[in-house]
Amino acid sequence: MKIAIAQLNYHIGNFAENGRKIIEAVQRAAEKSADLVIFSELAISGYPPRDFLEFNDYITQCNEAVNEIAKHCVGIAAIVGLPAFNESKKAKPLFNSAAFLFEGEIKSLTNKTLLPNYDIFDEYRYFEPNNVFECIKFKGKKIALTICEDLWSLTDNPLYTLNPMDELIGQHPDIMINIAASPFNYKQTKIRKEVLKRNARKYKLPLFYVNHVGAQTELLFDGGSMAINSKAEIVGELAYFEEDLKVFDLEETENKTATNHYEDPGEIASIYKALVMGVKNYFGKLGFTKAILGLSGGIDSAVTAALAAEALGAENVYNVMLPSRFSSMHSVDDSLQLAKNYGMPYDIIEIENAFNTFESTLKPYFKGLPFNIAEENLQARTRGVILMALSNKFGYILLNTSNKSEAAVGYGTLYGDMNGGLSVIGDLYKTQVFDLARYINRVGELIPYNIISKPPSAELRPDQKDSDSLPDYDILDEVLYQYIEHRKGPREIIAMGFDGALVNRILKLVNTNEYKRYQTPPMLRVSTKAFGMGRRMPIVAKYLS
């Protein structure tokens, strides 16, 4: 038997385009003499469809699309993920299903058993878990078909008491197939491979795994679909961060010497590829082509501009320099050099006149109080007004340039530098932003060295440095990482050797600034715990505040 793995970039709710891609892949697989082609979890709808699943019309269109695809499955079978109605009319109205298509029709539906309901996943909100286990018979083989999380009950700390493969193995399957929607984070590739290999090792069966690729708002899917033999050796891997299709001969897969052609590029390189893909897909799927951002001469806006130039083409990234009375000349010069290095369009718009107008307008109402954070924020909001006006006038998407360190402790101005339609580096700590800048410069000085080497500053008052308000980023980022990613409390972090007063101050800043993060644009997710849909905290709360 020959099995094709089709790794595609889907668009949520775009049934016509998703269906076209799937039909085209079925035809390509047939041309390569495949007997079966497999597509990822919820391929028809895109993942995650979220509350679109509450509309019967949405589910009906998914089913119509899969019926159309089935017509093309003659002489070749396909497995396609979709949401399907729960015909029993009991419990939740939907299943997360995999349709087995052959001879022009839907032959069977296999439903997902383990429904993740943590971090970014909300599947139990919509779907009823499966309780019927039956292998698919095809071409003299029995296929144990599972959907994503169904194979994740073999981790060291399983979240479920049930293991679908333990139910299916009694039927003596010949092959495991898992269709998935496994989002990227910079640790996930290694973990995912180990989980899949552990399944192959335990059940002594070959495993064919297909994943999504592409970006769905903040969620990034890296692909990395693969074939694993019964000895738990990866014998073939599909591309990362791009569409791919490969055909594997089952017998050859079992007998073939293991070859893993994928070379892990490293954490920062993977993050770079993920973010470029995220920006490109966000714009492409929304139908936008041009971005705008405020280029300050700092590391964050420089890295954001560089990523956008790679994703959209340098000619489509409009950089606006917005100097004030506190801006240093080298900040403007560094910004100009960056724009010229990439060939990006730019303008310099002084904010002094607008800022003076705000100051004079508010002077009677500020009651003679001295210059403080109100005037600092007023500068940032003046810049935000100008950038949003240009965005509205020309149809650009404004890119937010805040990093995770700043977002965590509230070091940003609502309706100012926190504006934007997409936060490109909002899931990168400041130290990671510096690492990414150095990676971008691996082939030459695209980001001026002075931007990377100078002390970070918001330049909202004379001689301002980030270190005036925040601990050194090496320390701050480690404390934040332990609290956010590892969910360690203050006593645990202090026990690691960090100063107690500093830890309590940092965690208080994180929790009291939740209201700001609640109003931020979507952040491209690259970590194991990102701000946004995967981290839900109350705004009005006392804990650690």
What is the residue whose two structure tokens read 């005037």?
375
149 a catalytic residue? no
User: What does DSSP assign to residue 535?
Assistant: B
Tokens representing 540 are 């009005």
User: What does DSSP assign to residue 540?
Assistant: S
Identify the bridge partners of residue 320 per DSSP, sorted by sequence position: 294, 347
To 5 degrees, how large is the angle CA 445–CA 450–CA 455?
140
The CA distance from 357 to 153, in Å, is 62
Annotated catalytic residue, options 2, 21, 41, 404? 41
The CA distance from 23 to 31, in Å, is 12
Side-chain-side CA neighbours of 321 within 13 Å: the count stands at 22
Tokens representing 538 are 């109350």
Q: Taking a C-beta distance cutoff of 8 angstroms, is the pair 5, 57 a contact?
A: no
The CA distance from 150 to 154, in Å, is 9
The CA distance from 156 to 114, in Å, is 16
Q: Taking a C-beta distance cutoff of 8 angstroms, is the pair 423, 523 a contact?
A: yes
What are the strands of the beta sheet with 207-210, ordered from one edge? 136-138, 141-147, 175-179, 207-210, 226-228, 234-237
Q: Under the phi-then-psi rule, with left for phi > 0, alpha for psi from -120 to 50, and beta for the rest, what region is 407?
A: alpha
Annotated catalytic residue, options 148, 149, 218, 516? 148
DSSP string for 295-308: --SSHHHHHHHHHH
41 a catalytic residue? yes
The CA distance from 25 to 295, in Å, is 42
Q: Under the phi-then-psi rule, with left for phi > 0, alpha for psi from -120 to 50, and beta for the rest, what region is 104?
A: left
Q: Taking a C-beta distance cutoff of 8 angstroms, is the pair 90, 96 a contact?
A: no
Tokens representing 32 are 């390569």
Query: How are the residues of the chain apportioned to helix, strand and coil, as percentages rounded to the nearest 5?
Result: 40, 20, 40
Please give the C-alpha separations between residue 86 and each of 37, 52, 111, 175, 388, in angstroms, as whole numbers.
25, 16, 10, 27, 46
The CA distance from 246 to 341, in Å, is 39
Length of the chain: 545
Identify the bridge partners of residue 423 per DSSP, sorted by sequence position: 400, 523
Q: Taking a C-beta distance cutoff of 8 angstroms, is the pair 56, 221 a contact?
A: no
Q: Is 400 strand, coil or helix? A: strand
Phi, psi of 466 (to 5 degrees): -55, -35
Q: Which of 276, 180, 253, 190 is nearest to 223 (CA)?
A: 180
Annotated catalytic residue, options 2, 21, 112, 280? 112
112 a catalytic residue? yes
Catalytic residue positions, numbered: 41, 112, 148
